[in-house]
Amino acid sequence: MSQIDDDRLVTDAEVEEGATDFSALPVPAELVADSLPAYARAWFARLRAGETGKLPVLVGLLIIAVIFQTLNSKFLTAGNLVNLLVQGAVYMLLAMAEVYVLLLGEIDLSAGFVAGIGGVVCAELVKTDTGWPWWAAVAAALGVCAVIGLFQGTIITRFGLPSFVVTLAGLLGFQGVMLRIIGTGGTLPIQDKVINDLANANLTATASWIVMAGIVAAFCAVTWLRDARRRKSGLVAPPASFTFVKIAAAIGAGVIVVLICNRDRGVLAPIRGVPWVILIVLGVLTAWTLVLGRTKLGRYIYAIGGNAEAARRAGVSLPGIRTIAFMLASFTAGIAGIIYASRLRSVSTNLDGGTLVLYAVAAAVIGGTSLFGGRGKPIDAVLGGIVIAAIDNGMGLQGFSAASKFIVTAIVLIAAVTIDSLARRGTTTRR
């Protein structure tokens, strides 16, 4: 039995006798389980109810890793793994941009070239004859991107136009603007050291340990305090043992990442340490997870994606929230664009914003974000971005052409949405 057939909401007394029944509900496991075994049961119940969570994408990653490792033993080396994450950073960031609008049931096709504009503005401003400091250039580039998002969002909401069409126009228009700015040379080189370091520099090995320890400690503290507060207020809280498991997992993940990153991956000179760009992705992930999960703005974005009419009747300003979501999407695209430019130490007319944005949407969807709105998280975008980067990287190692990469990515995308929809079919969820 996977749902309450009872016609009343269940009373407290029934909860006491029938606690195991509750583990059959598609409820977040940590809210119904008070011991680790109960947690595991709740988790499996959710799985059976079609709430597969992050499982498909994690299993997918495992399969991809096994396949590419058997094909080429270089795939799982420290050097290649770090390389893969750095290559994937742009997809992850762009996919996080896309999550904002996908949650509304909208799409932003312009994100790739808005990223291009971000990169170009930044590159122009740090040129020696313009001479802006790197931080001012970054701020200006992100500001321009945010204004673009505000503009597109306003057109979409005030005139009630489909985001598909408006951002398709954006895709074409901003490509034109980008090409115009880059000009006839075809390439805009970047000399600024800090900008180039964003995607290419690493922390020292010691700094890597210190920074990762700081991040993990912060995560553990927040997790512990939150669970402890729930326990104290008499709300259903995860068992302390489960909090410990989460904390142990975070520490383990932090240690593994630093160990991998601190292995020497240089060819001529030694290269080691956690790349800056991983921290940038982590920072954006944390910020957007906080905004979407813990602020009114985020709550309203989910509400609009779930039932726009309900949100409107609850007093939520639909045009306002939608416009802000488009603005945040373009802002995030701007971050992706700066990282893209930094990685290549230039921006050129080769920047293909069309392919970039389609990869970004694919990454978000592979990670578990719904195209119909209301379901998805920034972490989906990061995991999906890793999948796409892994395919790209693994097939590149094997010397496959771009053509084969596209085809395999397409198959993975279709597989991801099929698994998700099959898992949800016949579940209690009415979407």
Partner 1 sequence: MTTAGSTTDRADDRSRVEERPASAAPLLELRGITKRFGAVQALTDVDLVVPAGQVTALVGDNGAGKSVLIKCIAGIHHPDGGQIYWEGRPVHLRTPRDAAALGIETVYQDLALCDNLDIVQNMFLGREKTRYTLLDEENMELSARETLSSLSVTTVRSIRQPVASLSGGQRQAVAIARAVLWNSKLVIMDEPTAALGVAQTRMVLDLVRRLAQRGLGVIIISHNMNDVFEVADRIAILHLGHLVATGPISEFDRETVVDYMAFGRSERRKRNSEPTVAEQ
The distance of closest approach from Cβ of residue 85 to partner 1 in the complex, given in angstroms and rounded to an integer, is: 30
Binding segment (CB under 8 A) for partner 1, from list 28-36, 64-72, 334-342, 354-362? 28-36
Among 9, 267, 269, 403, binds partner 1 (CB under 8 A): 9
Per CB under 8 A, 17 contacts partner 1? no
Total residues belonging to the chain:
431
User: Tokens standing for 191?
Assistant: 């000399």
Tell me which residues in 107-126 interact with partner 1 (CB under 8 A): none
Q: Which is nearer to partner 1, 27 or 179 (CB)?
A: 27
Grouping H, G, I as helix, E, B as strand and the rest as coil, residue 187 is strand
Provide, rounded to whole angstroms, the least separation between the CB of residue 427 and partner 1: 9
209 touches partner 1 (CB under 8 A): no
Phi, psi of 275 (to 5 degrees): -60, 140
Minimal distance in Å, beta carbon 301 to partner 1? 11
Q: Does 41 bind partner 1 (CB under 8 A)?
A: no
Integer Cα distance of 346 and 181 in angstroms:
13
Half-sphere exposure of 378 (CA within 13 A, CB side): 20
CA 361 to chain centre: 10
> What is the rounded CA–CA span in Å between residue 71 and residue 75?
8
Give the whole-angstrom CA distance, residue 143 versus residue 85: 27
Cβ burial 294-303 (10 Å sphere, 16+ → b, else e): eeeebebbbb
| Residue 201 touches partner 1, criterion: CB under 8 A | no
DSSP state of 8: S
Judged by CB, which is closer to partner 1: 42, or 138? 42
Closest CA to 178 of 355, 358, 353: 353
How many Cα atoms within 13 Å fall on the side-chain side of residue 31?
6
8 vs 425, beta carbon nearer partner 1: 8
Among 188, 303, 327, 341, binds partner 1 (CB under 8 A): 303
334-393: contacts with partner 1 (CB under 8 A): 374-375
> Could you say whether residue 181 binds partner 1 (CB under 8 A)?
no
* CA–CA dist 112, 220 (Å, integer): 35
Decide: is 185 part of the binding site for partner 1 (CB under 8 A): no
Among 1, 235, 267, 403, binds partner 1 (CB under 8 A): 235
**Chain positions contacting partner 1, by CB under 8 A:** 3-12, 14-15, 19, 22, 25-28, 31-32, 49, 229-230, 233-236, 290, 294-296, 299, 302-303, 305-307, 309-311, 313-316, 374-375, 428-431
